[in-house]
Structure 1
């Protein structure tokens, strides 16, 4: 056999046992007549010891090894004289009596260490080497445990795991589909699913009652640190439920994962309306690890001939506790931050409420001390605090202020990755209007149910209709979202009409679903969690890439497989596809 033990399991209890290990050469250290090798496998590292005086040939053989060579060793476990408290196996070493090289290795293009010297593209090109790094492997092990615990929880709560097709029909709305040409039906195309949304609703019509799936989904959209063209969802649907039933089940799943994976007991998740999230945080995924809520000042700023405030639809700010001593350089840095093109503010107003009770602001020319004290009272500020204020169009300025709030939270050390704060955001708008196109689009998707009391507004004021929709947010990251679905075919027709669908187009795109609703569709709703995002939060990562085995880069390319790539003309001919040459 290749091994009798792994490199991570030997302990003092194994002293004097003869064992066989196999793995990769991690490090080589030569000290006089001794050679020490750290042998690594998936389970850990064991120190191997070779003594020139005991066996010169074996020691010489060891000295010829290189990093990442694959070897097999036989030896006797002994207690180490210089123990390593940083290793689980640090109390022992293996006195090697036999060494076999199973495979040599070229020198890796980067170090296989926690703090590697490889850049992102290089590591992605040699991802199979990057995965040998302990820190990356641990992320994949964490992902496995979370998927396993999810399946266990869902099974205990009566859910069936059902696989849905990967080749489906393309649907409008939402992100762009990845399109797959059909060879047998030339001129026609499949799409890769953005989610199993329609299929899981059909499973509810079929009477499956509680469905889940850990499923790959695909969206052809611009990439960010928390997005990949293919990603994994914990996808769920339930029948005969209301919103509260779904929130309770999946709050329970989240608490179960935190308890079993991180041994953390989470308190009850607060609920926040979308309207309050935007009013106080300027975001539908507020980070509630720290306070710093928005305070509106428009009514206190008018009539002082300060055109920036007078012409603004919205004036609001945040109170940074203990920051009145910020230097001019620090204030200029914050001003430059909000004026970045990605944020787009025209400037930043500040008010220092100094420790001695005095007040200094960037608008002293327009506002007297009594005016500024009214602002301070509105903020409930204390001596030593700093007020930071933006003005402009309401929605745009709230988003800018949200970015400023997060930046201040980071600067003040208030965004600890391992301080977990969860909440539900509820009562989203059902629709959003594209003013240029003059039509409404579904905020979530066209199968989301409106609040029952808001249904009449579909005929009179669609923009005010609230959705029976909800998002779970952890530390300012949306990790999951869902809704109660429309199960009445007449209401679904009304929804399609509000979205500008003709009856013919609605029937063409979604006829199979609307027809199914005529055969006794139960009330139902669901949710989907982003497994990649959830794992990255548990691991404290800034990007989801390091918890995906073989991710794409920021351009959507697989650097290792060199995909996407061109295909032979013969393949295109079979598909009936002609590539238009670029001019």
Structure 2
């Protein structure tokens, strides 16, 4: 028999009854039932119930065992007594009657429990991540991660893609976040950068004629952490294709991503035909470019109902043509308590408040019946309704498709300034009123992103998305159109309120590339200096090409039903971008700094 085990803790079934068995694993749970000890032994593969009674030669040793001790157990497998079976676990029909125990690794008192799902402080969990990873939920998330990545690889190769590994030490690139810099020992005063994405390299692969590339790529960005963004590093399914249009990318990648959600989504419905929503439409209807389409609420422009009305706050706002009044429907939200709660929430978000109209059934409303016993139809109340009058309130109700018992909420001002809040309000209303179907995956392409945006801080035109994307209309559009009106062949994938992928058709013409960067304030010399490799490659026959990158961590987070990326990463950093398990970042020694020609300022 093997030194440590004849079977894993997930192997044993009824057909193994009567066999001599050796198991090794962790003491998951120990229970004393009237002098008989039950030890649930766990390894990577599962859990087996083991029994030690006072007649067993191993009983004295068993009494010394504690939670998370690593042990070897020898004994004979038997069926569990009738009525004690556990058909919810694969080994639930059998148990090991233990004859011998060897302690392989005793454990000190645990700083956090492994059994169960108790909520422990993040700092404790990350400091002792090796224990946290023993917990069933987290352990299963990491197994899921490996399975999803394997499936991605399989499906990409089946679609004709080749996997290549691009360099980790590279040059700094304007990807929209801060670079992690690595000082060069050989070249004093110079630095490598860790790649924010393999963007330039994958385009160079297309120049080199490889046609279809993919990679499960590590990416590094020195940006502030949040629930849907890991600090420091993350992984993406990076893709590039030659001789393709935007439509070709969609037709290739949509089945791959859909299949991943179908395979690992635990039976939840997945969008069959993804809608394609222009960026401007997404912002106007949902207040975000990553809409949660499980939420049925659609924002609508209600400005005309307030123009010239007696509700002077909104009427005066509309004297500025840049201002609008957006309405958010609230089905079933027509209670004063809910509306007051939404108003208080809006104020907590830095807004002056949130206006609303309550709709009610005039025939059953006591106040209305007292004044008019024959009253029928839908009435409206609240400060806004009282000021604009019943006809305008009814027109708003009809536009939003509301009925008695519903409410309408309003956001006013310049949409450029309030659009994010409007999106948050739509999410809040849909969630609080339980309108969101949480048991499905709703995917969509968001298309037609603006090529440029106005940088108010620097008073200049800036790239709004990926600087390497092809503008719609090409070089001619760059020369003749207002930059802020230009749309790009850029697209995102949104799923359940998260951006899970981003991509574009690339600008592969050197003259168009120079012009695109010139509009953003970069001269040709800057392009040559910062993107010299790609600029040179474009001079020697560049195929039209495009691709995308899907966030591996976010996809797995959605599939696992988690709310935070740290629940699906092996050894994540904390909110201050610290690895408190390994002690990073740490101070360098004087010798290391001297070799790198660095003198600390502090």
Separation (CA, whole Å) in 2 of partners of 1:364 and 1:320: 15
Contact 2:270–2:442, Cα closer than 8 Å, also in 1? no
Separation (CA, whole Å) in 2 of partners of 1:372 and 1:116: 50
2:249 equivalent to 1:246: yes
Structure 1 unaligned residues grouped into runs of 5+:
none
Contact 1:68–1:107, Cα closer than 8 Å, also in 2? no
Moved more, 86-95 or 21-30: 86-95
Q: Give the C-alpha shift of residue 202 in structure 1.
A: 0.3
Structure 1 119/258 Cα, relative in aligned 2: closer, same or farther at 3 Å?
A: same
Decide which of 314, 338, 341 is 2:346's aligned counterpart. Answer: 338
Separation (CA, whole Å) in 2 of partners of 1:455 and 1:98: 82
The aligned counterpart of 2:370 is: none
2:222 equivalent to 1:214: no
Separation (CA, whole Å) in 2 of partners of 1:344 and 1:301: 24
SS of the equivalent of 1:199 reads helix
Q: Deviations for 1:36-69, whole angstroms, at most 9, x for unmatched residues?
A: 11101111111110111x22x4112101101100
Q: Give the C-alpha shift of residue 454 in structure 1.
A: 8.5
Separation (CA, whole Å) in 2 of partners of 1:89 and 1:536: 29
Separation (CA, whole Å) in 2 of partners of 1:425 and 1:495: 22
The aligned counterpart of 1:65 is: 65
Residues 231-380 of structure 1 aligned to structure 2 (within 5 Å): 231-262=234-265, 266-312=271-317, 313-324=323-334, 326-328=335-337, 330-340=338-348, 343-356=349-362, 357-380=378-401
Q: Give the C-alpha shift of residue 71 in structure 1.
A: 0.2
The aligned counterpart of 2:368 is: none
TM-score computed with the length of structure 1 as normaliser: 0.96
The aligned counterpart of 1:479 is: 500
Separation (CA, whole Å) in 2 of partners of 1:458 and 1:167: 36
The aligned counterpart of 1:405 is: 426
Q: Give the C-alpha shift of residue 130 in structure 1.
A: 0.4
Q: Give the C-alpha shift of residue 552 in structure 1.
A: 0.8
Contact 2:336–2:358, Cα closer than 8 Å, also in 1? no
Q: Give the C-alpha shift of residue 396 in structure 1.
A: 2.2
Contact 1:109–1:118, Cα closer than 8 Å, also in 2? no
Q: Give the C-alpha shift of residue 490 in structure 1.
A: 0.9
The aligned counterpart of 1:74 is: 74
Separation (CA, whole Å) in 1 of partners of 2:9 and 2:479: 65
Decide which of 1, 4, 16 is 2:18's aligned counterpart. Answer: 16
Contact 1:36–1:47, Cα closer than 8 Å, also in 2? yes
Between the two proteins, the alignment pairs up a number of residues equal to 575
Decide which of 132, 135, 138 is 2:137's aligned counterpart. Answer: 135
Separation (CA, whole Å) in 2 of partners of 1:296 and 1:453: 33
Residues 403-552 of structure 1 aligned to structure 2 (within 5 Å): 403-452=424-473, 455-456=476-477, 458-552=479-573
Q: Give the C-alpha shift of residue 562 in structure 1.
A: 1.8
SS of the equivalent of 2:402 reads coil
Contact 1:458–1:465, Cα closer than 8 Å, also in 2? no
Separation (CA, whole Å) in 2 of partners of 1:332 and 1:212: 51
Separation (CA, whole Å) in 2 of partners of 1:346 and 1:306: 16
Structure 1 65/458 Cα, relative in aligned 2: closer, same or farther at 3 Å?
A: farther
Q: Give the C-alpha shift of residue 439 in structure 1.
A: 1.8
Contact 1:321–1:384, Cα closer than 8 Å, also in 2? yes
Q: Deviations for 1:404-435, whole angstroms, at most 9, x for unmatched residues?
A: 11011211223344311111110110111113
Structure 1 60/416 Cα, relative in aligned 2: closer, same or farther at 3 Å?
A: farther
The aligned counterpart of 1:28 is: 30
Contact 1:455–1:465, Cα closer than 8 Å, also in 2? no
Structure 1 345/455 Cα, relative in aligned 2: closer, same or farther at 3 Å?
A: farther
2:192 equivalent to 1:190: yes
Q: Give the C-alpha shift of residue 455 in structure 1.
A: 4.1
Separation (CA, whole Å) in 1 of partners of 2:214 and 2:351: 44
Separation (CA, whole Å) in 2 of partners of 1:416 and 1:285: 17
Separation (CA, whole Å) in 1 of partners of 2:159 and 2:447: 24
